[in-house]
């Protein structure tokens, strides 16, 4: 069996280790802290702590964007190793791979799974069960490398796999993930949040669930996808203004039309893995 390693033992990296180990792979882990490595060992998520990246045939990189790019540019990988990153932005990462000669094969990934909590204590071998996985393609991407990654994806339990370019990925993710986190984070800044206990229901919980973003993690993600996020923010602000203006003008007909437009669009959105 090919030697497999995961760089980064947070919730995603730890879950990759846990899922692959459960599926019968022998996985070693590289972590920034002793605590994460020791937790992964004790939990049985990894066989051993990784020592030398060049020892591995397959490497998953599960660290923040800047560190991911640094590994892809300067990491000493085994000749011909299959290297896959799971970063939430893809164009800048892909650029780092192909702007210089490299001795490894590369496939970009983005697992659409996670929790409100972070760190390896939140990792689980079941985290990816039925989840979507995005695989990005460049002109240099080899079909056999994608096929190999899909065997790992199946072992981890992913459901739907979507394949697209890095540019397409970043445009869609600006809406479906990054803008959603910004909106939730901004929503809780209302002064009415104070003392709202007892006034909340499912809608409040849905809107605030992802407000607690780790700014150290998310700021670089936003920075690397700045133009796409700005475009989505501009669109959202414009649409919100329509509701505000209708309310301010006491134009209930316009308000109703605006609400109906959103409802009809919502009805066209397929949910989950449908």
Q: Which pTM does this prediction carry?
A: 0.91
For tokens 């022998």, name the residue.
Answer: 26
Q: Residue 192 pLDDT more than 50?
A: yes
Closest CA to 59 of 81, 39, 37: 81
Q: Which pLDDT belongs to residue 117?
A: 76
* % the chain with pLDDT above 90: 92
The mean pLDDT value for 96-108 works out to 96
> What's the alpha-carbon Rg for the chain, to the nearest Å?
21
Question: What confidence category does residue 118 fall into, taking pLDDT thresholds of 50, 70 and 90?
Answer: confident
Q: Which pLDDT belongs to residue 151?
A: 98
Instruction: Give the CA diameter of the chain.
Output: 68
Which domains does the chain possess? Answer: 4-164 (3.40.50.720), 169-268 (1.10.3660.10)
Higher-pLDDT residue of 213 and 155 is 155
Angle among Cα 102, 104, 106 to the nearest 5 degrees reads 100
Closest CA to 161 of 118, 123, 210, 108: 108
Q: Residue 272 pLDDT more than 60?
A: no
* % the chain with pLDDT above 70: 99
Q: CA torsion angle for 85, 91, 94, 96 (degrees, to 10)?
A: -110
The burial of 244, by beta-carbon neighbours within 10 Å (0-12 exposed, 13-18 middle, 19 or more buried), is given as exposed
Three-state DSSP class for residue 213: coil
The burial of 146, by beta-carbon neighbours within 10 Å (0-12 exposed, 13-18 middle, 19 or more buried), is given as middle
Measure the CA–CA gap between 250 and 211, rounded to whole angstroms: 31
Q: Residue 169 pLDDT more than 60?
A: yes
What are 43-89's pLDDT values in tens digits?
Answer: 999 999 999 999 999 999 999 999 999 999 999 999 999 999 999 99
Q: Residue 1 pLDDT more than 80?
A: no
Q: State how far the alpha carbon of 39 is from the alpha carbons of 31, 42, 106, in Å.
A: 10, 5, 29
What are 200-247's pLDDT values in tens digits?
Answer: 999 999 999 999 988 988 999 999 999 999 999 999 999 999 999 999
Phi then psi for residue 122, to 5 deg, are -95, -5
Q: Please check whether residue 123 is in contact with residue 27, taking contact to mean a CB–CB distance below 8 angstroms.
A: no
Question: What confidence category does residue 2 fall into, taking pLDDT thresholds of 50, 70 and 90?
Answer: confident
């Amino acid at each position: 069996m090919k030697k497999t390693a995961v760089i980064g033992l947070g919730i995603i990296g730890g879950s990759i280790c846990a899922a692959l180990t459960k599926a019968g792979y022998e996985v070693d882990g590289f972590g920034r802290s002793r605590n994460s490595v020791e937790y992964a060992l004790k939990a049985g998520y990894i066989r051993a702590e990784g020592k030398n990246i060049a020892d591995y045939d397959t490497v998953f990189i599960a660290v923040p964007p800047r560190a991911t790019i640094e590994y892809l540019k300067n990491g000493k990988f085994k000749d011909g190793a299959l290297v896959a990153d799971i970063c939430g932005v893809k164009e800048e990462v892909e650029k780092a791979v192909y702007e210089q000669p490299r001795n490894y094969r590369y496939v970009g990934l983005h697992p659409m799974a996670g929790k409100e909590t972070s760190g390896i204590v939140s990792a689980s071998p079941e985290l990816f069960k039925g989840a979507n996985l995005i695989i990005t393609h460049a002109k240099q991407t080899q079909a056999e490398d994608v096929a190999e990654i899909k065997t790992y994806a199946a072992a981890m339990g992913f459901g739907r796999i979507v394949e697209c370019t890095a540019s397409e990925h970043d445009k869609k993710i600006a809406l479906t993930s990054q803008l959603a986190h910004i909106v939730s984070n901004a929503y809780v800044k209302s002064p009415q949040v104070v003392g709202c206990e007892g006034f909340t229901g499912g809608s409040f919980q849905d809107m605030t669930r992802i407000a607690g973003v780790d700014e150290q993690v998310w700021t670089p993600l936003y920075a690397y996808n700045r133009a796409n996020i700005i475009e989505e923010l501009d669109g959202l602000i414009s649409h919100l203004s329509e509701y505000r203006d209708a309310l301010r003008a006491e134009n209930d007909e316009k308000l109703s039309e605006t609400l109906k437009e959103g409802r009809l669009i919502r009805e066209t959105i397929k949910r989950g893995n449908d």
